[in-house]
Amino acid sequence: MSFRYVWEKSHEAVRSLALSDEPLATRLARSLDALLRLQSEADFGSGDARRHFEELVQQFGGSDTVATTTGAIERLDNDALHRAAESILLLYSEVEREHGRRHGPS
């Protein structure tokens, strides 16, 4: 899976978090749906993006299905929802750094 696909899915995940007035749990589920389409073989680049991705997946029980992830999200309190959103932003930041290394500043 190409780095471009990783970049697109991480971008989609952040947009899902940021561009809606829906409850955080709903936005988080949409965001994770985009990210869980990535696989461990995906090209995350040379930074910490792969580690952040794997930690995020583990945070939701190693799930690779949206239904299971949605169930995990429903059990989170508000602080945990915010930590999960921060984890997605951290992943996105790492992917953006790698994008900059590969393509120069945007």
pLDDT computed for residue 69 by the predictor: 67
pLDDT tens profile 71-104? 778 888 999 999 999 999 999 999 999 888 888 7
Please give the Cα distance from 46 to 21 (Å, whole number).
34
Question: Is the model more confident about 67 or about 99?
Answer: 99
- Helix (H) / strand (E) element for 28: namely helix 24-35
SS3 state of residue 97 = helix
Taking the model in full, what pTM does it have?
A: 0.83
CA distances from 102 to 7, 38, 48, 83, 97 (A): 12, 20, 15, 29, 9
At 17, the pLDDT band (50, 70, 90 cuts) reads very high
pLDDT tens digits, one per residue of 18-66 = 999 999 999 998 898 888 878 767 788 877 888 888 888 887 766 555 5
